[in-house]
Structure 1
Amino acid sequence: MFSGSIPALVTPFDAHGEFIESAYRDLVEWQIAEGSAALVPCGTTGEAATLTKDEQFAIVKVCVDQAKGRVPVIAGAGSNDTRVAAANLIAAKEAGADAALMVPPYYNRPSQEGIYQHFAALAPQSPLPIVLYNVPARTVTDIQPETLIRIVSDFPELFVAVKDASGVLQRVSQHRAALGDGFCQLSGNDDLALGYNATGGVGCISVTANVAPRLCADFQAACAAGDYAKALELNDRLFALHVALFTDASPGPVKYAMTKVRPGFPEGLRLPMTWPGEAARKAVDAGLARAGL
């Protein structure tokens, strides 16, 4: 259902932490012009954890309005409370999103059965297709392959894709063995996207694409065409930037990078996120230089 380079969009804030709609609309427009295949508003990189529900889905609505159907919009909508997650799915639909990105419950640390039951409870009431988002480094909840396969097999029309940020590349093959190549697998790690695609992935929900949308789109196009020599060349250009964007708490480094490639881009973050330290800024500068940006 989805493929290619899909930025997990940053959310522009002013110095007081207020959303700047004009900057967000400009960002969406630039991303589409540069070849991004879909957009993810209000994910982790969009600082969704610091947004109220009203703010979150108002921002999704702005993204949808600016995209105007040119690319799909996958709204961040997860929660560690199953009832809240269900309400978020309705809000995402009302905001005009095409799909929802849903993490398993975080903090609660449910069992694999609890993860399954969470998503099974959402299935009969979800108005949108769901992209499962497995990011155990943040949620401390890992959707094991057997659980993901069970979820998708039981509700194949609803759970259409995974954003896999587990860092375990063999899972692409494990998922393919059970679900076939019709199940959409998207990397959640820019630095692993080359290997992920080589084993059956079809794209990446990307942090780096905020900063380098054309290079990331070209990289994904090369992978899709089977031109892994070109993909390797582009990966080598981007790799230092991929790493640099996580040398301090994200999205601090990527917002710093945005000010370099988009002069005048707002510098605001919402606490507890802070501006990256000097070492991280230097790493980002070097990564941008290596990428030719």
Structure 2
Amino acid sequence: MFTGSMVALVTPMSADGTIDWQALETLIEWQIQQGTDAIVSVGTTGESATLSHDEHKAVIRFSVECVNKRVPVIAGAGANATKEAIDLTFSAYQGGCDATLQVVPYYNKPPQSGLYRHFSQIAQSVPLPLLLYNVPGRTSCDLLPETVVELAKIKNIVGIKEASTYERLEILRQHFPRPSNFSILCGEDGISARAVCSGLIDGVISVTANIAPKQMHDLIDKGLKGDESACLALNQSIATLHEAMFTQTNPMPVKWALQRMGKIDNGIRLPLVELDEEHQSIVEKALQQAKIL
């Protein structure tokens, strides 16, 4: 079962947009030292949409090697074409990943029957644990709880990253009451503390964890252990970070924050660009309030 604070890790790049492998290794080491419970490689925050297939696979393999089994590595391997997702998933399996994260197909807006067949074919094609990833704000397609219930009957579909609403997390927990081997992971940092204290989630796949890994780990850990006051207090200390990380399109703010912290260069792939100046002051203030700068 996947649980705890899992970082949706950025893919560091040099100013010319090439992958900065040394910075990636350094980030992974720092994340593990700070207590992060799993590394999510090449998800949305890792700029999966603008990496080539070869780069995508190479980043995942490199991450697995760097982690060296100290924590799980979950590979972003989703696509809006089922064959492409199977290819990426098989590569992650060969590379030694512990699971894959499979985003709802984007742009083509399949019906629920198509979503069921898409995810079931991936799961049946590659013997690797699969986490569903529902983020309708990006995909324009919503994976409904009823479809999740049917998909969970497939042995190696083991959980979901739900990046929508608190109410959806409530519905999912009703379908998967504890104790359950099906992991419900929050994909929205801003509601993760409330959700974990309410027993709705088993962990979070976090953008904020890129810049505040220990705080996110401790927050989720306290919540899972039932220490609501400590969890909420920790969340209050970084609440402005949650908001600041989405002041513009992810991962523009988090990459700027990591650059400001001296951990990465300013590379990002078009059509995304460096954070606008007016938003830089928002992120700067949030970093200061969280005592990161």
Q: TM-score, normalised by structure 2?
A: 0.96
Aligned to 2:282: 283
Mean Cα deviation higher: 192-201 or 135-144: 192-201
Alignment of 1:146-157 (within 5 A): 146-153=146-153, 155=154, 157=155
Runs of 4+ residues over 3 Å off in structure 1: none
Cα RMSD over matched residues?
Answer: 1.1
1:221 is matched with 221
Partner SS, residue 281 of structure 1: helix
What amino acid is the match of 1:111?
A: P
Q: Residue in 1 aligned with 2:190?
A: 191
Matched, 1:28 2:28: yes
1:115-172 Cα shifts (integer Å, max 9, x gaps): 111112223212211010000000111101111111112x1x21111110012x2333
Any residues of structure 2 matched to 1:256-275 within 5 Å, and which? 256-261=256-261, 263=262, 265-275=264-274
Question: Does 2:98 match 1:101?
Answer: no
Q: Tell me which moved more, 76-85 or 169-178.
A: 169-178
Q: Structure 1 vs Structure 2: percent identity of aligned residues? A: 41
SS of the aligned residue for 2:11 comes to coil
Match of 1:230 in 2: 230
Counterpart CA distance in 1 for 2:122 and 2:43 is: 19
How far did 1:111 drift? Answer: 0.8
Q: Could you tell me whether the CA contact under 8 Å between 2:161 and 2:184 is conserved in 1? A: yes
Q: Is the 8 A contact 1:102 1:130 kept in 2?
A: yes
- How far apart, CA to CA, are the structure 1 residues paired with 2:280 and 2:228? 31
Alignment of 1:1-293 (within 5 A): 1-153=1-153, 155=154, 157-167=155-165, 169-181=166-178, 182=180, 183-197=182-196, 198-261=198-261, 263=262, 265-293=264-292
1:264 deviates by: 5.1
Distance (Å, rounded) in 2 between the aligned partners of 1:232 and 1:176: 21
CA–CA distance in 2 between the matches of 1:214 and 1:272?
Answer: 31
Deviations 1:38-97 (A, max 9, x none): 000100000010011111011011111010100000000001001111111101111211
Q: Residues 264 and 123 (structure 1 numbering): CA distance in 2 closer, same or farther, change over 3 Å?
A: closer
Alpha-carbon distance in structure 1 between the residues aligned to 2:102 and 2:272: 22
In structure 2, C-alpha distance between the alignment counterparts of 1:55 and 1:238, rounded to whole Å: 33
Q: For 1:195 and 1:120, how far apart are their aligned partners in 2?
A: 32
Alpha-carbon deviation of 1:179?
Answer: 2.7
Contact 1:172-1:199 within 8 A present in 2 as well: no
Structure 2 unmatched runs, 5+: none
Q: What SS does structure 1 have at the residue aligned with 2:131?
A: strand
The count of corresponding residues between Structure 1 and Structure 2 is 289
Code of the residue aligned with 1:93 in structure 2: it is: Y
Alpha-carbon contact 2:123-2:130 (below 8 Å) kept: no
SS in structure 2 of the partner of residue 146 of structure 1: helix
Kindly provide the amino acid, as one letter, of the partner of residue 184 in structure 1. S
Conserved in 2, the CA contact under 8 Å of 1:89 and 1:127?
Answer: no
The residue type equivalent to 2:156 in the other structure is: L
Q: 71-80 vs 281-290, which deviates more?
A: 281-290
